[in-house]
Amino acid sequence: MNYKIYTDGSCLGNPGAGGYAAVIIDSSGGTQEIFGGEKFTTNNRMELKAAITALKKISVGSYVELFTDSQYFKNAFTQNWLANWKRRGWVASGGGAVKNQDLWRELDGLISARHVKFNWVKGHAGNSYNERCDKLARDTALKFQSQPDYKPPTPKIETPPKVEVTPKIKTSHKVEKDVRWVQQELF
């Protein structure tokens, strides 16, 4: 069977309360909506989680046309970012560790077991399935945020290290002579 999957993630605060959603459409026209979220997460994690949750519902070997508004997600597969990260031992091009490795590894397995074609859709541009995913993801994030025990994350504020600076006064030979003369005259 062939499928179309639309995915989206949402995060209120980034990091903050998050939600993800997917709409799965099978070749007979049947649709299924799935969604979930986390109390404290990032938007990128929710984008990836939407795809993971949807792909787990699809049989191995199936053909999938996947639609996302996340360049981060799409480009990892279409621009060979994922292959390069794996080749470099999960080190990003900038030299640091690849973020969200746990989700990327899971996605790698799910996608390699299916025939997936990636499509980018502009978010908030009127695509009804993308808009539906956005609403489900955002509503889920709002539910986490409205829980009585929810506390927004405290941003990390890095203070620069203190640097002791000793001012250097540059004097000319003439100034030094004038200072000696003043000292002789006053004392």
List active site positions. Answer: 8-9, 47, 69, 124, 134
- The edge-to-edge listing of strands for the beta sheet with 115-120 is 31-41, 16-26, 2-12, 63-68, 115-120
Token reading at 183: 């000292």
> Burial level of 118, CB count in 10 A (0-12/13-18/19+)?
middle
Taking a C-beta distance cutoff of 8 angstroms, is the pair 123, 130 a contact?
Answer: yes
Token reading at 123: 């978010």
